[in-house]
Structure formats: structure tokens, C-alpha cells
Structure 1
Amino acid sequence: VLDNEALLAATGAADFSAKVWDAITGQELQEFGHKHIVKSVEFSANRESLATAGMEGIVRVFDLTQGAVTTELHHDDKEKVTINKVVWGADGNTVMTGGSNGIVKVWDIRTNTGANEIKVDGLVMDVELSKSVGGQGDVLTVAAGKHVSMFDAGTFELLQSHEMPSCSFREEGGASLHPSGDKFIAGGGDCWVRVFDRQTGAELECHKGHHGPVRCLRYAPDGATYASGSEDGTIRLWETDPDEATA
């Protein structure tokens, strides 16, 4: 994942580490050890903190200026929870997680407690916070079970939820909302990348190219392109409106 200025990159890996890199030179800047696989990392908006989560079921917040962990957030569940995604809240005082217990949880890092939660229909594979969607409010997009759902990021009210008959999020996959708010992309185990209408859930486009399950998808900030990453070891870039790009 890149920071907001695309100057730093962070990775989480199966070697039980999270690392921060210079995105321009590729030089490793910091490494943070964990006790299990790190599945998700994200920079805070001010680039001073890094949130990590994964197979341990623990959310950690690292102060990048000090190189040390400042916060650890633990689930109360008796069964082990794998966290597949961690994202920062818009206010910088909260983080949101989604994982194997089918819950999107909001944590207040000032008090180290859960502030809210959303129950969805299955294993959560992806959570995305989109700010000022279509010039309006912030939207939380969640890929879980067989659905892609959008929630108001302030009230957590369900806005839309669409079943994905052609792809599911049992073990992989994700979704991303276009900055305009009128459509979203989704992909998973069937190796294809699809574009859907946000309001109706109708499939608008289907793109083939990957030779392995799709693990992640994201629109560029301007919405002109989007990227997809797959287990086939490739990252593919797609034009949102190729006809307009060549006109």
C-alpha cells in the first residue's frame, strides 16, 4: 500500500513482518516483527502511523517517527479471528477491520476499545473507505460472503448490498467504489474482474486476463484507471472508460 503522497510503501508478508519502503528508490526503511502472517497494512493520513493486522487477530498501530508500537487492539471473541483488512477512519482516531468472524469492527485507538461494528453475511475479505463520494459523504465498501455492500461511513447505515452470483469472497477477492459513486469493481476466485452499477447491481463489464484468483482491486484517485492484483503474480491496470481515453 502507498501513502497519500506515493512517497512511502508498506507491505505485510508471510514472513511475519511489516515493512516500510521508499517508494521511489525501493530502499527498505523500517521493519516491524509480528508473531504470525501480516495480511493488511495501511498508513494514516498524516503518514506518521502504520496500522497492521493479520492471522494473529491483533491490530497494531506503529509510530513511524519512533519506530515503535503504540497501540494493540484485541478481539474479545473466544474463537480465533483472522483479520483480512484494516483501514483508517476518516478522523484519524479510529481504525476499521474486517475478518473471519463476519464483522466489520470500528476501533477507537484513543481508548483501545471497540466503538461500533457491522455484521455482514460471511467472511470479510475487503474493506474500503471512500471519502467525499460524488462530492457527498464518505462510503464504506465491504466485500464479504457473496455480497458487496456499501455503508454510510458516518452512521454505518446500509446504503446498497448486491449479491455477486459470479464471484464470491470465501478465500480471496475484493471490491472498490468509483470516486463518482456510480459504479464499483469486484473480483474473486473466478479470475475475472467485473464492473457493476452501484444502484442496481447490474453487471456492466467483464474483463478476462488473470490466470489466478483476484486478490485485490482499487480505483485510482481520479477514477480514470483501476488496478487488480492476482495470485498469478501480476498486477494489471485497466482504463475505466477506454473509448474516452482514445477519443
Structure 2
Amino acid sequence: MSLHSLPLFVRLAGRRVILIGDGEMAEAKRRLLERAGAVIVADEHADAAIAIVAAEDAEPVAERLRARGVLVNAVDRPELCDFTLPAIVDRDPVMIAVGTGGASAGLAAMLRQRLEAMLPESLGALARALRNAKPATRERWPDYGDRRRALGRALAEGGTLDPMREHAPEAVQLWLAAGAAPEPELVRFTLASPDPDELTLRQARALAVCDRVFHREDVPAAILARARGDAARIACAAPPADPGPGLSIDLEVRG
């Protein structure tokens, strides 16, 4: 399964960004660039690396800029875009970007609104507390694997630091004082279908937080892709006798 685009977060503070056009669309992009701290310039600035074109006749402008090596976003013209601008949920320093590859800005905006209603206002404060607690977290769990598993368990649904709940300012410090590395756990799933969209909610959530996935050779890559990015994928003919610390998933498909 290939990615249509690779999402990136680019720091624009103090960097030049070309903005071409006027009217409502251009002003909306100007406000967004100003929030990011960009220095907005005209198209003659050769040292600008990216540009946003909000003009009716965008094609020749985009071609001219691209010939100079500038990455271009042409507003409402996805076929001319080197990059697209997502709808943004901002819980500083947490930022969630919703993109559709230019297919529908309205859909991205509606998803952003739904996420805004779901995410607690304390999410940014939780992220800052976790950042400030990194030295204490390393001291509490010197081994990287133990540290990752402890944090993963705390941030999982229903966990001590579940990010979908409101938290008191001292929540991270209380977790550090009481936390412990998770015990080894092996969960076995026999999947009824090779289609990843047929995963149950429990299966999808377990894959999203597991430390490793043991699987039969016929388990599709699309299902393995639902596991957390740094989880080990281990092909084997039978469930492991010693799965290792933290949460392990054993998968086979019947159907």
C-alpha cells in the first residue's frame, strides 16, 4: 500500500515563502503563513523554497516557479500542487493535520471539526508535561524498551495518561511516582478475513499499541501495516513460547 503523499511538518518561522494572488483565498493563506511565522515575499525572491499560488491563471505561474526548483501549492488546483495544506487541529505543541491529497477541502475541514470536539483542551499541557519529564522518565526506566512500553501502556485507551481524557497538571508526575513496566502479555487473534477493514475495534486498538506482531506467512501486509510503526513483525509457524516483555500479538487468518 503506497502513500499518496508523505505528511511533513515544516518550520517556517523566519523563512521566506512566496504568496501570489489576492482575494479571499490568498488572504486565508496569508493568515495561515503569518501564524506559522513565515516571511511572505513576492515571486522574485530566488531564495524562497516554497510558494502558494492563489490566482485564477495558476498554471503558468506554477510552471515558472517549479522551473526554479520552488515547491508549489496552487490553491484549489491539486493537479498543479507539489504539496497540499491540511486542515489543522492545534493543541500546542500537539498538531494534527488532516489532508485528502486535494480531493476535498470540505471533507478535511469537517474531519477537523469532529476531531476538535473529541480532543480535550488539556492535550497540549499533557504533551508539555511529558516533554519536561523526559529526564525523570529516563531515570525511572533506563532501558529504552521498558520506557517505551511503560509510556505506551499509560497512553493507551483507559490508561493513566489516556490523551483522550482531561488530566490534572500533576498527572505525569503521579504516573512517574507509581508507574511500572508492563508485564509480558500475548494476545492471539484469529482473523475472519484478510481485509484490514474487517478488523474488529479491539483488534485494531491492540495492533496500534503492541510491541511486536507474530504472524503466519499468509497474513497480508495491509493488516501488518495497522500495527504501530516501530513494532517488530515476526513471521512464524506457531505462537511463540516466550513472546518477550510488553504486549505481543499473534495473528493468523482463517477465511
TM-score scaled by structure 1? 0.28
Q: Which has the higher contact order (CA 8 A, sep 6+)?
A: 2
Q: Give the structure with the higher percent helix.
A: 2
User: Which protein is bigger by CA-based radius of gyration?
Assistant: 2
Q: Give the structure with the higher percent strand.
A: 1
TM-score scaled by structure 2? 0.28
